[in-house]
Amino acid sequence: MTALGGRDVAAAAQAAGFVGDEIRRAQVIAYAATRWEDHYQSEVPGVPALTQWGLFATNPNYYDPANPRALFDPITSAKDAYRYWQAAGGTWDWHPVVRVADGALVRGAWHTIEQGRLWGSKASDHTTHLVALGHPGGPLPPRLPDGTYIGGIARG
């Protein structure tokens, strides 16, 4: 597994079609889901619907069963996430990390990225910041810088 940096994740999101603030939202979702690990894998034996692979932790069973390892490519993973994002009307409400604990994972990811100033980090910086930060704890900001909510929280 490779821990990518903020620049890498932003570049993958942009290559997939995300623009503007959605690139930063994509960074937050990917961080909440995988801590920016490009070869992330989570599987529950006997429950294929809960299988998640790649940077954006999407389900390889719904991507391309003949070539599921393609999701380990960050741009391919971002394109798969973009496909779901478009189908959900340009929202992230489809993603499992958004649905957990009323968006707490997403808010935690935002806080960690912001505290570590990881938005424009290089891959080599990412691991250093994670070790230094540990779990951020404390109150988590419920909004992105543009003032909108993301996740399973009410939009305002």
Q: Residue 41 carries which DSSP code?
A: E
pLDDT tier at 3, thresholds 50, 70, 90: confident
Which residues are paired to 58 by β-bridges? 53
Residue that the structure tokens 């009307």 belong to? 89
Q: Each residue of 89-134: pLDDT tens digit?
A: 998 888 888 877 666 777 777 777 776 666 666 554 544 443 333 3
Q: For residue 99, count other CB atoms closer than 10 A to its CB.
A: 15
Tell me the average pLDDT of the chain. 74
Angle between helices 104-116 and 123-133 (to 10 degrees): 110
Q: Each residue of 34-71: pLDDT tens digit?
A: 888 888 888 878 887 778 889 998 888 888 778 888 88
Please tell me the distance from the alpha carbon of residue 95 to that of residue 30, in angstroms, as a whole number: 10
The CA–CA distances, whole Å, from 77 to 5, 22, 34, 97, 137 equal 15, 15, 12, 16, 29
